[in-house]
Structure 1
Amino acid sequence: MRFVDDLYSLYREHLEDEENAVSVVLNILEDQNREDIMKLIEEMDDEEVVQMVGVYLVEMLKMKMSQEGQLSDWESPLKRPRYH
């Protein structure tokens, strides 16, 4: 996806680990509205959309399993501390 490639090019120096990647993404999304996000999705090909929804569904299932006590070691990357 072009957007991911652009993000990576801009922030590659700051992407030392998963926590940094989550922070970058959350900071970028903070400045976007629904219309901006929908434009990004519309630019994706079908495979990218399916992959995005698949990752989302897996993470949501893992969160639900954790809430139900079925997955004790899962932590949402979205709930980690954010660094600006």
Structure 2
Amino acid sequence: MSFVDEVYSLYRDQLNDDEDDAVAIVLSILEEQSREHVLKLIEQMSDDEVVQMMGVYLVEMLKMKMIQDGKIPPFRAVPSSSHIH
């Protein structure tokens, strides 16, 4: 079972129709993890999962930069980069 499957199984009932629920859960989980543990999780991912993860990360970081530069309007509060890094 992948880490995503485990997280979904644990929090399925807390996830509603608002993506903010997922963001809150993920940020909470990540705050509890060490760098070493996160790297172990990444090592267990398939090549496709790693590329997909990097793709999502890059898109979100580019959107944050574009919001900061006023190129696109902020539609909702963007998580602070300190929580993402």
Distance (Å, rounded) in 1 between the aligned partners of 2:46 and 2:65: 29
Corresponding position of 2:68: 67
Letter matched to residue 34 of structure 2: N
Corresponding position of 1:29: 30
Identity %: 60
The structure, 1 or 2, with the larger RCO (C-alpha pairs under 8 Å, 6+ apart) is 1
Corresponding position of 1:7: 7
Once the two structures are TM-superposed, the CA of residue 73 in structure 1 deviates from its matched residue by: 3.0
- The gaps in structure 2 that reach 5 residues or longer are 81-85
The alignment's TM-score, normalised by the length of structure 2, stands at: 0.85
The alignment's TM-score, normalised by the length of structure 1, stands at: 0.86
Query: Bigger CA drift: 9-18 or 65-74?
Result: 65-74
Distance (Å, rounded) in 1 between the aligned partners of 2:3 and 2:22: 14
Letter matched to residue 6 of structure 1: E
State the 4+ residue runs in structure 1 displaced beyond 4 angstroms: none
Q: Secondary structure at the match of 2:71?
A: coil
Corresponding position of 2:53: 52
Count of matched residue pairs: 78
Cα offsets for 1:44-72 (capped at 9, x unmatched): 01000000000000001101111111011
Distance (Å, rounded) in 2 between the aligned partners of 1:9 and 1:61: 31
> What is the RMSD computed on CA atoms of the aligned residues?
1.3
